[in-house]
Amino acid sequence: MITVDEALEALFALVTALPSEEVPLAEALGRVLASDVAARRDQPPFAASAMDGYALRNDEVRHGARFEVIAEAAAGHGFDGAVGAGQAVRIFTGAPLPKGASRVIIQEDVTRKGDGITLNEDLDPKPHIRPKGCDFRIGEVMSAPRILRPADIALLASMNCATVSVTRRPVVALISTGDELVMPGDSPGPDQIIASNTFGLKALLESHGAKARILPIARDRIPSLETAFGLAAGADLVVTIGGASVGDHDLVGQVAGQMGMDRAFYKVAMRPGKPLMAGRMGAAAMVGLPGNPVSAMVCGQVFLAPMIRAMLGLGARRTSRLTARLAAPLPPNGPREHYMRARLTPEGLVAEGRQDSSLLSVLAEADALLVRPVNDPARTTGETVEYLDF
Ligand SMILES: Nc1nc2c(c(=O)[nH]1)N[C@H]1C(S)=C(S)[C@@H](COP(=O)(O)OP(=O)(O)OC[C@H]3O[C@@H](n4cnc5c(N)ncnc54)[C@H](O)[C@@H]3O)O[C@H]1N2
Ligand code: MOO
């Protein structure tokens, strides 16, 4: 059996960064910027007032000084003339600062009478002017790769970019296998359960930037699995769920092999998730996940999410781990890396009591996967351990 790190390296070797596509800025949230973007203008493009008030010459400012208001400058409607000695321009936030002016006095600091103003005592000392280009200069770069957040979208819009080049979303085909499965909303027979893994994995993969297609459930028969693999054509990554173990009805490896899957590995020293397989199937990468619901979700987090990030051009790196103190002791770990469902409490991390890989309710309660290294000795309360945010 190979280690988790060795499996991850083998999985990275199955994928490459995908090409880019141009999308409207309004649809770019969460996408990965594929190439650097340079600002097409200065922002602001002119020195601008930061407040509502009066623009005048700074060297004339003192308590009791009087000025004649000669014009108005508003956002979108600047004043073309110049401000001379003893003159002021009524100005509003965002308006271009008129020529000759070097300070804005906020309106709270003046007394206005007709076309004249007098400066009050205790003037706000700030100039209230935003210099041209103080936010960004023409040619300044937003660098790729980068997952676009709301603030990035706002900055790109301000740079006057209407469309943006992003990495194409990886397309993942998800195939649940098993005679016992029906879709949510169907009426299960007495021996049947609901296919939950495809839905959990679709959500997980899409939260990492993939586009996931749920294919019809494949039955535990060779022609049914062949049909499912056929329907997966065109996907960048084909993921099967279940049928990966050693039972008489576990046919995924056999059928994938007959259909040309070049196997990279089978079985990883981890818990849950041991009977994991992967390889190349034509142009696509193929990963066969174990069927137990928690095993499938943990493998999704530990293996599929990093593969998606690599395809998005974000680099081939394992999911970053955080650290926390233990709020309860742990027994020694065995020969497989153990991903334990755990809760983050104010006192620290607490592993859930029940760790059976069928228990989705325990997974949904958990907010962390506590990582126990191979043969980790017993741990006491207060020791620092690693975990994945879940
Ligand atoms: N003799 C052995 N038996 C098993 C071993 C072993 O080493 N020797 N490994 C165990 C481990 S660990 C796992 S994990 C499972 C993996 O088995 P499969 O990948 O073949 O999965 P299935 O048998 O098809 O299903 C297991 C379990 O999960 C349920 N399931 C399957 N697909 C879904 C789905 N899409 N949604 C919800 N639930 C699903 C299925 O009904 C079974 O209950 O093998 C152990 N056995
Ligand atoms: O690996 Mo199985 O995935 O332990 O339940």
How much of the chain, in percent, has pLDDT values that exceed 70? 100
What confidence score (pLDDT) does residue 204 get?
Answer: 98
Q: Is 356 exposed, middle or buried (0-12, 13-18, 19+ CB in 10 A)?
A: exposed
What confidence score (pLDDT) does residue 244 get?
Answer: 86
Q: How many CB atoms lie within 10 A of CB 115?
A: 11
What confidence score (pLDDT) does residue 20 get?
Answer: 98
Of 274, 287, 294, the residue with max ligand 2 atoms within 8 A of its CB, to mutate for a pocket test, comes to 274
Alpha helices in the chain (DSSP H): 4-12, 150-158, 197-207, 222-231, 252-258, 293-299, 305-311, 360-365
> Which pLDDT band holds residue 246 (cuts at 50, 70, 90)?
confident
Determine the distance separating the centroid of ligand 1 and the alpha carbon of 243, expressed in angstroms. 7
Over residues 98-120, mean pLDDT: 98
24-34, pLDDT tens digit by residue?
A: 999 999 999 99
From the alpha carbon of 295, which atom of ligand 1 is closest? 14
Lookup result for tokens 């995908």:
18
Determine the distance separating the centroid of ligand 1 and the alpha carbon of 226, expressed in angstroms. 20
Kindly compute the dihedral angle of the four CA atoms of residues 143, 144, 146, 151, in this order, to the nearest 10 degrees: 40
Q: Is the pLDDT of residue 283 over 90?
A: yes
Reported for 249-257, long-range contacts at CB under 8 A and 24+ positions apart, including other chains, are 249/178, 249/179, 249/220, 251/177, 251/220, 251/221, 251/222, 251/225, 252/177, 252/225, 252/277, 252/288, 253/277, 253/288, 254/222, 255/222, 255/225, 255/226, 255/229, 256/229, 256/281, 256/286, 256/288
* Bridge partners of residue 371, in order along the sequence: 339, 386
Determine the distance separating the centroid of ligand 2 and the alpha carbon of 60, expressed in angstroms. 79
From the alpha carbon of 295, which atom of ligand 2 is closest? 3
298-331, pLDDT tens digit by residue?
A: 999 999 999 999 999 999 999 999 999 999 999 9
Query: What residue owns the CA closest to ligand 2's atom 4?
Result: 272
What confidence score (pLDDT) does residue 250 get?
Answer: 85
Nearest ligand to the C-alpha atom of residue 268:
2
Mode of pairing for the β-strands spanning 262-266 and 277-281: antiparallel
Determine the distance separating the centroid of ligand 1 and the alpha carbon of 218, expressed in angstroms. 15
From the alpha carbon of 288, which atom of ligand 1 is closest? 19
- What gap in Å lies between CA 135 and CA 121, rounded to an integer? 32
Of 357, 360, 372, the residue with max ligand 2 atoms within 8 A of its CB, to mutate for a pocket test, comes to 357
169-206, pLDDT tens digit by residue?
A: 999 999 999 999 999 999 999 999 999 999 999 999 99
Q: Is the pLDDT of residue 248 over 90?
A: no
Contact (CB, 8 A) for 380 and 329: yes
How many residues in total does the chain contain? 390
Contact (CB, 8 A) for 326 and 381: yes
Contact (CB, 8 A) for 178 and 292: no
What confidence score (pLDDT) does residue 260 get?
Answer: 92
131-140, pLDDT tens digit by residue?
A: 999 999 999 9
Q: Delineate the domains of the chain, giving CATH numbers in brackets.
A: 4-17+169-311 (3.40.980.10), 20-42+144-167 (3.90.105.10), 48-130 (2.170.190.11), 322-389 (2.40.340.10)
Contact (CB, 8 A) for 110 and 100: no
> Which pLDDT band holds residue 373 (cuts at 50, 70, 90)?
very high
Q: How many CB atoms lie within 10 A of CB 390?
A: 18
290-307, pLDDT tens digit by residue?
A: 999 999 999 999 999 999
Of 214, 245, 267, 302, the residue with max ligand 1 atoms within 8 A of its CB, to mutate for a pocket test, comes to 245
| 326 Cβ closer than 6 Å to some ligand 1 atom | no
Q: Is the pLDDT of residue 390 over 90?
A: no
Mean pLDDT (the chain, rounded): 97
> Which pLDDT band holds residue 15 (cuts at 50, 70, 90)?
very high
207-232, pLDDT tens digit by residue?
A: 999 999 999 999 999 999 999 999 99
Contact (CB, 8 A) for 54 and 87: no
Q: Is the pLDDT of residue 358 over 90?
A: yes
| 243 Cβ closer than 6 Å to some ligand 1 atom | yes
DSSP-derived 3-state class of residue 197 = helix
How much of the chain, in percent, has pLDDT values that exceed 90? 98
Report residues whose beta carbon is within 6 angstroms of any ligand 2 atom: 271-274, 290, 292, 295, 357
